[in-house]
Every structure is written in structure tokens, then in C-alpha cells.
Amino acid sequence: MTQDTTASWTPAERAAFAAKRRSRNIALGLVLGLLVALFFGITIVKMSDGAAPAPAAALAP
């Protein structure tokens, strides 16, 4: 098994590591959110065939 190297860290090193991890997690969350929004937008465009629906008055005989 691997050794736990964080046991010998000073409080300042732990705080720096936590801050770096937090910023990395926020960036990853933003990228994931943007990817979800992109897929959602692509799905909406594909379902609507890229055209806006016709007004109800234009469909009446």
C-alpha cells in the first residue's frame, strides 16, 4: 500500500493543498455544467429541427 504523505504536512501546507483542491473542483464543476448545458442545447435544437414552430393562425385552414 502507499504511505500517507500528508501526515507530516504543516497546517500551512494543508491549507494550501485544500485551497488548490477546492479551486480545481470548482473549475471541474463549471466545465461539467457547461458540457451539460451544451448537450441540452444540442438536444433541443435537434428535437425542434432547428426551426421555430409556426404560429397557430398560420396552421388554421
DSSP per residue, 8-55: G--HHHHHHHHHHHHHHHHHHHHHHHHHHHHHHHHHHHHHTTTSPPPP
Per-residue pLDDT of the chain (61 residues; tens, 9 = 90+): 567 777 889 999 999 999 999 999 999 999 999 999 999 999 988 888 756 666 666 665 6
The pTM of this model reads: 0.63
